[in-house]
Amino acid sequence: MDFTAAYAKAAAYCAYQDRCLAEVRAKLTAWEVPPSIAAQVLAQLQAEKFLDEARFARSFASGKFRYHQWGRLKIKQALRLKGVAAAHIAEALAQLDEADYLATLQKLASAKKATTLAARAAAYRSLVAKGYEPELVAKLIKP
Q: Domain check: are 31 and 64 in the same one?
A: no
Q: Domain check: are 83 and 104 in the same one?
A: no
Q: Domain check: are 83 and 106 in the same one?
A: no
Q: Is the pLDDT of residue 110 over 90?
A: no
pLDDT band at 88 (very low <50, low <70, confident <90, very high): very high
Mean pLDDT rounded to a whole number for the chain:
93
Q: Average pLDDT in the 60-71 region?
A: 96
Q: Domain check: are 136 and 119 in the same one?
A: yes
Per-residue pLDDT tens digits for 70-87: 999 999 999 999 999 999
Q: Is the pLDDT of residue 95 over 80?
A: yes
Q: Which domain holds residue 114?
A: 98-141
- How many domains does the structure of the chain reveal? 3
Task: Judge contact between 83 and 25, C-beta under 8 A.
Answer: no
For residue 23, the domain's CATH number is 1.10.10
